[in-house]
Amino acid sequence: MWKILSYMALSVLLSCTLLIPISACGNSTNTEATGIQESNGKPITDVNTAVAYLLALRLVRYNMKTIDHEPVGYTKGRLTNVGSMKITYDSEGRITRFGEKPISYNQGLIESIGTTKITHDKDYPQRVAKIGEEDVTYNSQGLANNVGPSKLSYDEKRRVTKVGDVSIVYKDSKEGPMLKPTRPSL
């Protein structure tokens, strides 16, 4: 019996260290207590990571309706939640927590979200240069273009409409009717 249990424990240990993605083993880089999820070379698909990018880049707007189908809530003009993720503020109006992730500041600029460090450009201190290990690039208009492999898309009002694979809809967005799938004609 003990041999069977020890083999089972060994197989779980090996699968959690070698075969299965880390998130399946309870030690994901996207847990509430840690920092921002790493992209692993692919565009992000996680709502919480997208919101963290928006917070770090100061791109959160008042009239956001949904972020990847998660409702966005406001109270007295302040973003208070995205889906079930709560956002809290200090007495100066700065965001202090994003879910369980604390947000720290240095000279008025976000310095970290959870354990993820936010690095600002030396020449343009208002501009974010890195979010964790992900480089932030900018277009000729000064808008953040990419965070690592995740592209940021904008509408005509210069509002972010997509971060990686996560879409953002605004209250005044022109949402077209949902198209029904059609069967190909034979």
Task: Confirm whether 182 is domain-assigned.
Answer: no
Exposure of 62 in the CB half-sphere (CA atoms within 13 A): 4
Instruction: Tell me the two tokens of residue 152.
Output: 């940021």
Domains held by the chain: number: 1
Domain span at residue 151? 29-170
Side chain identity, residue 33:
A
Q: What is the pTM of this model?
A: 0.72
pLDDT > 50? residue 18: no
Q: What is the pLDDT of residues 112-138, one digit of tens each?
A: 999 999 999 999 999 999 999 999 999
3-state secondary structure of 50: helix
Is 56 a domain residue?
yes
Task: With respect to residue 76, please indicate whether it lies within any of the assigned structural domains.
Answer: yes
Is 183 domain-assigned? no
Residue 146: beta bridge partners? 137, 151
Is position 15 within any domain?
no
Residue with tokens 């460090």: 117
User: Tell me: the pLDDT tens digits for 82-115?
Assistant: 999 999 999 999 999 999 999 999 999 999 999 9
Cα–Cα distance, 93 to 73 (Å, whole number): 16
